[in-house]
Amino acid sequence: MANPSRIYTAALVVIGDEILSGRTHDKNISQVAAWLQVQGIRLREVRVVADDTPAIIEAVNILRTRNDYLFTTGGIGPTHDDITVDAIAEALGVPVVVHPEARAILEGYYETRGGLTDARLRMARTPEGASLIPNRYTGAPGIRCGNVFIMAGVPSITAGMLDALSGQLEGGAALLSETVGCWVGESEVADLLRETEKSFETCQIGSYPFWAEGKTGANFVIRSVSAEDLAACTRALVRGLEVLGKPPIAGGI
């Protein structure tokens, strides 16, 4: 599904009061980001919004229009605070329906677990015209409507949904990266970083300081869609660091 001649983009909307209150530490941003990298899709923007219909609608409508794909996490369970499906249906201008396939999945899942109650049936509701994303852990499926992918808030369930989508979405060339770690204050090599990046048009260099073993260090991350440019830029940076008497940390950090 790769089309290396164009850049594919995605956005993510994380829905949940529990993230904005600081109670729950989000794990979906990094797992969705890392998964998208492998699919050859760039994550352009993330928004974290409350369990609030207008906030969800605003974020979904802006971001699904400006990106190839929009993912959401959170708010698709059986309780009153799970309002994602209704909000997204409203954003798309379609009614909410009980999806027959989702209903069948839930009937099977709850057959030995007390049966399909009204609350559980909520999890079979989708925006009209949707297809399902399998959930191999707890039955209740994710939902795809056009370019919008509605996933669970619980990270392990979302991981399974992402796995089910692997290789299914059209993507471009993956953004490749190399990391060079060095015991150096980043301000000491700022010129080298800027000049090296300038010499390789397809490459970006990010600089991320750290403190460890009582010393100052930095990781320099080189990113490119060209494996050849990436290797050449990395070699140039390593040489430059060596010339300054700051050779990279063997094996990285």
Would you tell me which residues interact with a copy of itself (CB under 8 A)?
Answer: 14, 17-27, 29-37, 42-51, 55, 77-82, 113-114, 117, 119-120, 122-123, 153-154, 175, 177, 185-188, 190-191, 193-194, 197, 204-210, 221, 223
Q: Which residue, 131 or 179, is less far from a copy of itself as judged by CB? A: 179
Q: Taking the complex as a whole, how short is the minimal distance between the CB of residue 248 and a copy of itself, in angstroms? A: 17
Q: Which residue, 18 or 229, is less far from a copy of itself as judged by CB? A: 18
Q: Which residue, 7 or 94, is less far from a copy of itself as judged by CB? A: 7
Q: Which residue, 90 or 197, is less far from a copy of itself as judged by CB? A: 197
Phi, psi at residue 218, to the nearest 5°? -150, 145
Whether 13 contacts 62, CB under 8 Å: no
Spatial separation of the C-alpha atoms in residues 2 and 14, rounded to whole Å: 27
- Sign of the dihedral defined by the CA atoms of residues 131, 135, 141, 142, in that order: negative
Q: Taking the complex as a whole, how short is the minimal distance between the CB of residue 75 and a copy of itself, in angstroms? A: 10
Spatial separation of the C-alpha atoms in residues 140 and 89, rounded to whole Å: 18
Q: How many CA atoms lie within 13 A of 197 on its CB side?
A: 14
Spatial separation of the C-alpha atoms in residues 198 and 240, rounded to whole Å: 14
Quickly tell me which residue has 């164009």 as its tokens. Answer: 6
Spatial separation of the C-alpha atoms in residues 109 and 129, rounded to whole Å: 23
Spatial separation of the C-alpha atoms in residues 187 and 7, rounded to whole Å: 32
Q: Taking the complex as a whole, how short is the minimal distance between the CB of residue 129 and a copy of itself, in angstroms? A: 26
With 0-12 / 13-18 / 19 or more C-beta atoms within 10 angstroms meaning exposed / middle / buried, residue 172 is: buried
Quickly tell me which residue has 């190399």 as its tokens. Answer: 178
Q: Which residue, 131 or 138, is less far from a copy of itself as judged by CB? A: 138
Q: Taking the complex as a whole, how short is the minimal distance between the CB of residue 3 and a copy of itself, in angstroms? A: 20
Q: Which residue, 131 or 186, is less far from a copy of itself as judged by CB? A: 186
Q: Taking the complex as a whole, how short is the minimal distance between the CB of residue 134 and a copy of itself, in angstroms? A: 18
